[in-house]
Amino acid sequence: MKYENIEAERARLGLSKDGFAKSLGIATKTYYNWLNGVNPIPSDALVKMSGICKAGTDYLLGLTDIRRKDEEVDLSKAKTYELVAELKTREGVEVIMAEPYQKREVSVEGPAVFFIVTD
């Protein structure tokens, strides 16, 4: 099965495959074809699934372990690249990358918070 998180969310909601397909307004066979990668999941259906499951689309597709954007994350288990990617999406955040052992200088005016991530 290609999309294990979708199935896990369906089970968490207590819905049968048929019931979940009906909630999406599709045939059960269509749902099976999506799960098994026979046909791609249309973006509008993925967004609808996200709303029903209260889970992010990236999570449903297995691209991240973070179920929802507002979900509390155990930073000790999070992957560094996921944390940096999330920070890059935040307003007012500037990411400055440096190669190993490369000296970087940063200057700011006013209050600032720095995160130094080493990996």
User: What is the residue extent of each domain of the chain?
Assistant: 4-60
Compute the distance between CA of residue 14 and CA of residue 40 in angstroms, rounded to an integer: 24
Q: Is 47 helix (H, G, I), strand (E, B) or coil?
A: helix
Q: Name the residue with tokens 């507002």.
A: 70
26 is written with which tokens?
């599709």
The string of pLDDT tens digits covering residues 36-69 is 999 999 999 999 999 999 899 999 999 988 787 6
CA distance 93 to 113: 10
pLDDT tens for 77-115 read 777 777 777 777 777 777 777 777 777 787 878 777 777
CATH topology of domain 4-60: 434 Repressor (Amino-terminal Domain) (1.10.260)
The structure's pTM equals: 0.57
